[in-house]
Amino acid sequence: MGLSGGMDSMVLLDLLVQARARLGFALSAVHVHHGLSRHADAWAERCRAVCMSYGVELRIERVQVSVSGGESLEAVARRERYRVYAASSADALVLAHHQDDLAETVLLQLLRGGGPRALAAMPVWRMHEKVGLWRPMLAVRRSQIEAYAQAHHLLWVEDESNADTRWRRNLLRHAVLPEIAGQIPHYRQHLARSAALCADAADILREVACADLAAVKTGGRLAMPAFAALSCARQRQLLAYWCEQLALGQPAPSALEHFRQQLLGAAAAASPCLALDSGALVRYRGEVWACRQSPACAEVKLTGLMPGSAVLPLGWAGCLSLTLKSSGLPVDWLAGDLRLLPRQGGERLAQSVGRKPVKTLLQEAGLPPLLREQWPLLYRGTELVAVPGVAISSDHLQAGGWVPQWTPA
């Protein structure tokens, strides 16, 4: 479980310890030390002492919280917490969010202009990378948790920042929601119901986007005629869903809409591009390509290769596979000095019509410029013998040889 040391997580710990006594599951806790408060060390020690009294193993994880790029301190701290959670090997990581947290999150997302997925807020259960996040107290109010804590004489820490109304969540909690509660006592339940309806709507939109992507995508690319036949809303959903599936980063709605309009309206010779955190989408020759941002790739020595094998070269954004063909490179080369190298410029490869520039071969293969820049070259010793997936050296073709293929990630 995630243990902050606050009232909510201390109540959850007490309940889980009781459940452990009945059901016999393994229970441990993780405390994320953000270092943002002068009391942070004392909170960690309080968590350690309480866990020791319960016989619960505690892991304290220290994280660095540095704000950049317009993110709020709260958002960065949250991201670091969930990074720690993602590294857990547990079957489930239990969190102490309750109904008041859910209501606050729905309103915050609404004020930020969030769509159905954001307004779905926090589900009782969801997968976060490889660990399941479970929030068993989402139907419980803060006042009920406080009553339990006092009745069982639990001790907890108070985060002084929770009273600072410069933070939007605290402003809602202390100034706005008490006024709403006076007029609409059941607002928490209403917002929880809205969140559940938004979750259903988001799931439906996701299913439609998944089906549209399957219908529009060919060979890892989007076919523009099929894309253009979709409604504007489905085009936006498809592009956002594709970015999410490829883990390229989520574009701002305005940037996504501008790119969508460019895809449909830019001149045929143009190559509109949507820059993302981890790559880009680009239109090229009537198709939309996804290009993953690749680090500065270094030489990779290839060993232990055989026909039919596939290799994920360290530092390269893609997969190298070897296929036996009617003609290709000599099989005995697989045990020799083969290397992947990045392009430097000016390389040429032997072809039946003479030595052709690699740049020309990549252009003739219909690859967009962003992919051409990071396409690997295959060398034997110091000799260029193939541009994987594009061409192989005509000087070394033989019957029953192997052909290298390159699939960008």
Is 7 annotated in a binding site? The answer is yes
Rounded to 5°, the CA angle 328-331-337 comes to: 105
Neighbours of 105 (CB within 10 A): 21
SS3 content of the chain, % helix, strand, coil (to 5): 45, 25, 35
Angle between helices 232-245 and 253-265 (to 10 degrees): 110
Query: What is the three-class DSSP state of 398?
Result: strand
Is 8 annotated in a binding site? The answer is yes
Is 346 annotated in a binding site? The answer is no
114 phi and psi, to 5 degrees? -70, 150
CB–CB of 61/88 below 8 Å?
Answer: no
Question: DSSP string covering 329-379, please?
Answer: E-GGGGGS-EEEE---S--EEEETTEEEEHHHHHHHTT--HHHHHT--EEE
* Residue whose C-alpha is closest to residue 168's, from 75, 300, 256: 75
224 phi and psi, to 5 degrees? -60, -40
Q: Given CA atoms 335, 336, 341, 345 in this order, what sign does their dihedral have?
A: negative
Question: DSSP string covering 109-130, please?
Answer: HHHTT--HHHHT---SEEEETT
Cα torsion 96, 100, 104, 110 to 10°: value is 110
Name the β-bridge partners of 351: 354
Whole-angstrom distance, CA of residue 141 vs CA of residue 78:
22
Whole-angstrom distance, CA of residue 142 vs CA of residue 178:
13
Is 6 annotated in a binding site? The answer is yes
Distance in Å from the first CA to the final CA of the chain: 34
Is 5 annotated in a binding site? The answer is yes
Neighbours of 299 (CB within 10 A): 11
Q: Per the annotation, where are the binding residues?
A: 4-9
Q: Per the annotation, where are the binding residues for ATP?
A: 4-9
